[in-house]
Amino acid sequence: MPDPPSPAPASVAEVAEGLRSVGYLPGESTALVAYLATKLGKPVLVEGPAGVGKTELAKALASYLGRELVRLQCYEGLDEAKALYEWNYRKQLLRIQAEASGTGWDAVQEDIFGEEFLLARPLMTAIASEQPVVLLIDEIDKTDQEFEAMLLEVLSDFQISIPELGRVESRTHPVVLLTSNNSRELTEALKRRCLYLWLDYPELEHELEIVRLHAPELSETVARRLVEVIGMVRALDLKKPPSIAESIDWARALLLLGVEDIDADTFTATMSVIVKHRTDMDVVADRVGLKLRAPADVA
Amino acid sequence: MSPDHQGPPAQRAGRPHGPGFEGLPARILELGEELRREGVAVGTSELLDAFEVLAEISWTSQEDFREALAATLAKSQEDRRVFELVFERFFFRATEIAAAREGVREEDLANLGELTEEELEELRAQIAAALRDGSEGAMRDLARMAIAAFARRQEGSGVIGVDVQRIRRALGLRAEPQPDMPAEDPRRDGLPREALRRFEALLRRELERAQIERTGNLPPARPLGELDRALPSGPLADLAAVHRVVAQLRRRLATQGLQARGHRRHAHVDVRRTMRASLQTGGVPVVLKFRPRRPRRPEIYVLCDVSTSVTSASVFFLSVLHALHDTFRKMRSFVFIERISEVTDIFEHERNFKTVSERIGNDAGVADISGYTDYGRVWSEFLQQVEDDLHPRATVIVLGDARTNGRDPRADIFANIAARAGRTFWLNPEPRLYWNYGDSVIAAYEQYCTAFECWTTAQLEDFVRALTRPVISAR
């Protein structure tokens, strides 16, 4: 349930504070770009490796601004009918059948192409909404270029043309976030319309803060050790490096187990929380496990 | 200092900005131009956005100022990296020349006097500690101290790069551990490389500042080198880049197929469809229906070296091969070391690149007795296998380093292959500099084919251009 909409933020610090209050610790540039997005109404293109909190940022922004989050998950083959709107054929058919036989075509046509028979998909919902919303277009790099081109109208003018109804213009200005895992180069035209934000894995201190926020019962030393190990694991050449969400999961797992210190044995036992590929597990067990063992032997 | 050096930088750079074109907007536009020079696509709309954004933030926070500009001007990770470098350089130079013109000087450290050996050792230890802690402010101050100290001891060479290295050597800063140091000294375990790089950058910058102060003039801007620009990336990122280019190759080949279809009319009447259409006109064939023109798919033969000398390149090659298979139906692939082995089937039945490379590694059955490439044998076997199928519309692509390990290159057979095929390309994973050195015999083959060096993705793109260029001579 969204909170009542809060007024537009007045400064970068306010945005940072706000995001913090809903459990998202923004980096400097994140807060700044989020602030600019609310201020200028420009879409933001967020890129970065998987699991650095791109989607989370949109959620946090929505809950901070007290707006509803409208999410469009992109995938290969996503088309306008799934993203914009669709006519509700079945309902239209029923309407026609229910019509007395004497009604003329004009009357029926007038009838069945009304808003009542329109199925609004995410983009349409976001634009037609009475209340301002946060629109998240997730993993835009998964779609084809044609779809990107279609987005251009929506993103620059916040309007959608429906042949039967005319133009639907946005009543309020949505905050738009597009995320991309960089699996394909996006078109220049799309990039030009957006502010750009590159999210990377956080610095050690920053991640420590995040982990402490989400697992406050975990002791300072274990938490620090944890983010250090995560850093080591990320430095390896893995198929899927552990994301922030996985560090948090790991922290919670350690908490459940009541671990005092991360040594080689605990690491091997709980490694599966952060490493999710068989080949990766071998690599990690090999490299990181050894490193963890070494100082223990010395002691 | 001659008076004509007093003008604002914009005018000295010869740009036609009129009078009154001053202040921050002018600087932002110059920054935009400098970014363009370094290859970042900065359009007018980006610059307009930048101005719009700057109206929303306070300029007093340098961090916000930079991030705001970056969010609007640099729209990819690579661009972002270039932006950081250009931004640093641009505003450093802009401030320094402004300061020099206003006569503002840094507090003079030159009166530090001669340092004794003990004081010098103290300085060394302090710098090492600052590097270990990574505190930017302390590093900057110490960099200036070091410059002042060494300016006293020896003459500066006047070339900044040389001075930086000399000071660094004199300070004994090394990344390698130095076990003879006392235990609490940070130099004992070696200094972090990243911090060393930053310290060097600070030294360079302070020396540059001193030079600008001395001459009151800006030295010409050094364009960013490939090395500065390159992302600190692992092999994964490289592979991703290859996949990107290969995807582009696929797209371009696909669109080129459409072009080849052309608009030329041709006279194969489709009788069935014509008769059918004639029913509308009472059986009179008014509208002729033509048979659709089938694009003639080019036939491609790819030979890929998978021997140990090209291990690092073979992943790259195999992914190219993989992409080609997605595009061309009539394509046959061969891998070879000492002998040749056809892998067309594997590529056709496996969509996943990982599995493909594993299967080729395991059971492609490359007859690998010595592990050394035998090009002569490969050519003769290849010719035997495909002799009847090779024709002028076929394209032969060889991926290999042309290192024969001293065996007979048999260029005559290769010439025979090239003569039968329409086009022959050679992709060599070694830099051109190494060609024909040692046992590389690429020159023997190069006269019969078009050879490309291919060890960066940019070069792969060159090849893609060549491959997709329409064939002019219809042999």
Task: Quote the CA–CA distance of A44 and B220 in Å, as a whole number.
Answer: 36
Residue of A nearest to B354 (CA): A239
- In this predicted structure, what is the pLDDT of residue B17? 42
Cα torsion B301, B306, B310, B315 to 10°: value is: 80
- Residue A81 belongs to what H/E stretch? helix A80-83
B283/A contact by beta carbon, under 8 A: no
Chain-chain contact of B236 with A28 (C-beta, under 8 angstroms) = no
> What average pLDDT does range B345-364 have in this prediction?
69
Task: Quote the CA–CA distance of B89 and B94 in Å, as a whole number.
Answer: 8
* Backbone torsions φ then ψ of B130, nearest 5 degrees: -65, -35
Task: Quote the CA–CA distance of B326 and B247 in Å, as a whole number.
Answer: 10
> What would the pLDDT profile of B312-322 be if each residue is shown by its tens digit?
666 677 777 77
Chain-chain contact of A185 with B72 (C-beta, under 8 angstroms) = no
Nearest to A78 by CA among A22, A25, A139, A162: A139
> What would the pLDDT profile of B276-294 be if each residue is shown by its tens digit?
888 888 888 888 888 776 6
| Placement of tokens 């509208």 in the chain | B287
Chain-chain contact of B57 with A185 (C-beta, under 8 angstroms) = no
Residue of B nearest to A200 (CA): B77
Beta bridge partners of A197: A46
- In this predicted structure, what is the pLDDT of residue A297? 46
End-to-end CA distance of chain A: 53
> What would the pLDDT profile of B240-272 be if each residue is shown by its tens digit?
566 666 666 666 655 554 444 444 555 678 888
Superfamily holding B237-261+297-468:
von Willebrand factor, type A domain (3.40.50.410)
Nearest to B41 by CA among A33, A185, A27: A185
Most confident of A31-45, A227-241, B211-225, B338-352: A31-45
Distance from CA of A199 to the nearest CA of B (A): 10
SS3 call for A135: strand
SS3 call for B294: coil
B317: tokens are 């090659």
pTM metric for this prediction: 0.62
Contacts of B235 in chain A (CB under 8 A): 237
The answer, yes or no, to whether residue A24 has pLDDT greater than 60, is yes
Chain-chain contact of A40 with B67 (C-beta, under 8 angstroms) = no
Nearest to A235 by CA among A282, A288, A293: A288
Closest CB from A28, A42, A182 relative to B63: A28
Percent residues over pLDDT 90 in chain A: 11
Task: Quote the CA–CA distance of B188 and B181 in Å, as a whole number.
Answer: 5
- In this predicted structure, what is the pLDDT of residue A135? 92
The answer, yes or no, to whether residue A178 has pLDDT greater than 90, is yes
Closest CB from B43, B71, B235 relative to A36: B71
Distance from CA of A131 to the nearest CA of B (A): 24
> What would the pLDDT profile of B71-129 be if each residue is shown by its tens digit?
999 888 778 888 888 888 888 877 777 777 777 665 555 555 566 677 777 777 788 77
- Extents of the domains making up chain B: 3-102, 110-229, 237-261+297-468, 263-295
CB neighbourhood size of B384 (10 A): 10
Percent residues over pLDDT 90 in chain B: 0
Chain-chain contact of A192 with B46 (C-beta, under 8 angstroms) = yes
Residue of A nearest to B232 (CA): A235
Chain-chain contact of A36 with B63 (C-beta, under 8 angstroms) = no
The answer, yes or no, to whether residue A52 has pLDDT greater than 80, is yes
A260: tokens are 């005092």
- In this predicted structure, what is the pLDDT of residue B183? 61
Chain-chain contact of A191 with B63 (C-beta, under 8 angstroms) = no
Q: Which residue has the higher pLDDT, A255 or B253?
A: A255
The answer, yes or no, to whether residue B456 has pLDDT greater than 80, is no
DSSP string computed for B415-452: HHHHHHSSEEEEEESS-GGGTTSTTB-HHHHHTTSEEE
Chain-chain contact of A195 with B53 (C-beta, under 8 angstroms) = yes
The answer, yes or no, to whether residue B3 has pLDDT greater than 70, is no
Residue A242 DSSP symbol: -
- Classify the complex by whether its ipTM is higher than 0.85, answering yes or no: no
Distance from CA of B326 to the nearest CA of A (A): 17
Counted across chains A and B, CB pairs separated by less than 8 A come out at 61
Confidence of residue B227 (pLDDT cuts 50, 70, 90): very low
SS3 call for B333: strand
Asked if B251 and A145 touch (Cβ cutoff 8 Å), the reply is: no
